[in-house]
Amino acid sequence: MEKRKINPQEKIDQVIRAARKLFVKKGYRGVAIPEIVKESGVSVGAIYLHFGNKEKLAETVYEVTLRRFMGLFSERLSGKESIQGKLRAFSELAFEITEEDSEMMEYMLSVRKEIRSDLLLPLCSSDAFKEVQMIINDGIASGEIKSGSDLVAAVSYTGVIIRAVELRLQGVLEQPLQEISDELIKNAWAGIVAE
């Protein structure tokens, strides 16, 4: 703890942050390694030593971001018991991240199959979506959510939330999402609640 020799992990984090920022702005192929060098302050050699190549770097950025989001989501979920409360927790987390770490949210929505890697699907279609879908399954089972396809219900609910995030990031929605959070969550819920 007292040793204070420069932490290699710190450099790695700087590279990941810089890379994500640039990927969001210009896309994977639009970002050259020398740009990441300038943005992160870490040299080309160090980047290739730690990440191997550009594609591996992108995959690491993806995994770190995904892990962080799922961690935050789990935290928020704990303690919530009602279906409605869990879905509200998901929505409010999405809104908060959008306002407080818009770069992270923008990255999650913009990751596409630009990279050859087949593993890189848009974050919000993968684990987080599955988690929401399980919550909705429970809601249908308990009768709180109207019966029908559970997938359709999940699409309907998350659609409202994610679209709001997208349009906020694009500047179409000018107020912070927290200010319209209640209205949005009410609409999303109204779409799927049992009458």
Binding residues among 73-102 for a second copy as defined by CB under 8 A: none
Q: Which does 43 bind (CB under 5 to 8 A by kind): a second copy, DNA, none?
A: DNA
Q: Which does 162 bind (CB under 5 to 8 A by kind): DNA, a second copy, none?
A: a second copy
Q: Are 165 and 107 in contact (CB under 8 A)?
A: no
In terms of residues, how long is the chain? 195
Q: Which amino acid is at 160?
A: V
How many CB atoms within 10 Å of residue 22? 20
Binding residues among 47-106 for DNA as defined by CB under 7 A: 48-50, 53-55
- Contact between 45 and DNA by CB under 7 A: the answer reads yes
Binding residues among 4-23 for DNA as defined by CB under 7 A: 6, 8, 11
Among 41, 75, 148, 178, binds a second copy (CB under 8 A): 148
As a whole number of angstroms, the distance between CA 17 and CA 139 comes to: 38
Shortest distance (Å) from residue 177 CB to a second copy = 10
Our CB check for DNA shows the closer of 48 and 138 to be: 48
Among 114, 127, 131, 138, binds a second copy (CB under 8 A): 114
As a whole number of angstroms, the distance between CA 17 and CA 65 comes to: 10
Q: Which does 123 bind (CB under 5 to 8 A by kind): DNA, a second copy, none?
A: none
43 φψ region: left (φ > 0), alpha (ψ -120 to 50), beta (else): beta
Q: For residue 155, which of 129, 131, 186 has the smallest C-alpha distance?
A: 129
- Contact between 112 and a second copy by CB under 8 A: the answer reads yes
As a whole number of angstroms, the distance between CA 102 and CA 112 comes to: 17
Shortest distance (Å) from residue 172 CB to a second copy = 6
Interior CA angle at 43 toward 1 and 51, to 5°? 75
Residues forming contacts to DNA in the complex (CB under 7 A) are: 6, 8, 11, 31-34, 42-46, 48-50, 53-55
